Amino acid sequence: MHDAVRYRDAGELLAGTREFVTGGLATGEPVLVAAPRATLDRLRAEIPARDGQVSTVDMREVGRNPGGILGEVLLRFAAAHPGRRVRIIGEPVWPDRTAEEYPACVQHEALINAAFAGRDAHIRCLYDAAGLPADRLDDAARTHPWIGTGGRVGPSLRYHDALATAARFNQPLPEPPPGSVRLLVVRGSLGQLRIAAAGQATAAGLPASRAGDLVIALNELVSNSVQHGGGAARAAVWTTPDQVIGQVSDAGHIADPLAGRIPPPASSPGGGRGLAVVNAVCDLVRVYTRPGHTTVQVHLRR
């Protein structure tokens, strides 16, 4: 079950969470609350913790990249409790989520239904109705089969095809700005890309570990392009006042909307882990794909 619960104040927040958690405790179900620290602080005194049965994580940290929430947070928690029904409270959309981040948030919400098909779980997503604009609340109704306010939940009349809602946000990404470092990468020239990415990241003031994350992300993307995307890729790297951004375009097509959001099993032949690695190390990953063209954009905060 996947529902969205709107709240306008502390009372409605508590109504939408306390019974959900206590119901899980009563039946021995592991519970995860993944929400921004402000929400966790409001709930701390009201949500009971019993023998480690309730786990909490700050969604602003673990979910800073919406593309990583499914694999790194929700499915990881479910996998840690095999054979058991789990309850998860998530708050992936908050009022100061940026316009850059929001499309990936909607896609995440829409894909929960497919990612958890056949799994025994109840996932409840919180929406701050006092702080979020109307269009974001409307998208919640389109991506959740069940919706409500406070503790009252019923079928969402706007829910029909969540994947179609996700596809609305599969839009072309802006071209790299003037002054970007641009490269045409083919087999044998990956070293040039790695040098350029490391140089841009270092010049932007990223620490060595984060500069390494940018190199890893672009290397994974371009390696995948060379192997599966027509043998070549156009890459670019640039900086803004608060981010270092890399972008890779090729002639491939990512047909599976869950690609990179659910890491393949370790026993899976043929790799397929590249985009999952990218989602794990970056602060934001944006994807635009259609037959004959894919662009992936990665962001690391300065």
pLDDT digits (tens, 9 = 90+) for 236-251: 999 999 999 999 999 9
pLDDT grade for 161, boundaries at 50, 70 and 90: confident
Q: Quick one: tokens of 95?
A: 């009022």
Q: How does strand 293-301 pair with strand 284-290?
A: antiparallel
Q: Is residue 188 scored above 80 in pLDDT?
A: no
Domain ranges of the chain: 2-167, 181-301
Question: What number is the average pLDDT over the span 156-163?
Answer: 90
| DSSP E strand stretches across the chain | 2-7, 31-35, 54-58, 86-90, 121-128, 146-149, 152-155, 181-186, 232-239, 243-250, 284-290, 293-301
- CATH architecture group of domain 2-167: 3-Layer(aba) Sandwich (3.40)
150 within 8 A of 12, measured Cβ to Cβ: yes
Residue 145 has a pLDDT of 96
Annotation: CATH topology of 181-301: Heat Shock Protein 90 (3.30.565)
Q: Is residue 197 scored above 70 in pLDDT?
A: yes
Q: Please give the backbone phi and psi of residue 158, each rounded to the nearest 5 degrees, phi first.
A: -90, -10
Q: Which residue has the tokens 């800073």?
A: 64
Q: Is residue 73 scored above 90 in pLDDT?
A: yes
DSSP state, 97? -
CA 82 to chain centre: 23
Q: Is residue 270 scored above 90 in pLDDT?
A: no
Output the pTM of the full model. Answer: 0.92
Residues 6+ apart with CB under 8 A from 163: 110, 111, 114, 257
36 within 8 A of 145, measured Cβ to Cβ: no
Q: Is residue 272 scored above 70 in pLDDT?
A: no
Among 46-55, 141-150, 186-195, the least confident range: 46-55
Beta bridge partners of 90: 34, 125
Residue 226 has a pLDDT of 86
CA 143 to each of CA 6, 51, 113, 137, 149: distance values in angstroms, whole numbers, following the listed order: 14, 34, 9, 10, 16
Q: Is residue 140 scored above 90 in pLDDT?
A: yes
- Using alpha carbons only, give the angle 222, 73, 70 rounded to the nearest 5 degrees: 55
What would the pLDDT profile of 82-115 be if each residue is shown by its tens digit? 999 999 999 999 999 999 999 999 999 999 999 9
274 within 8 A of 228, measured Cβ to Cβ: no
Question: What number is the average pLDDT over the span 115-143?
Answer: 96
Q: What percent of the chain has pLDDT over 90?
A: 79
Among 48-52, 79-83, 129-133, 280-284, the least confident range: 48-52
Residue 286 has a pLDDT of 97
pLDDT grade for 215, boundaries at 50, 70 and 90: very high
Residue 227 has a pLDDT of 82
Q: What distance in Å separates the CA atoms of residue 240 and residue 227, rounded to the nearest whole number?
A: 30
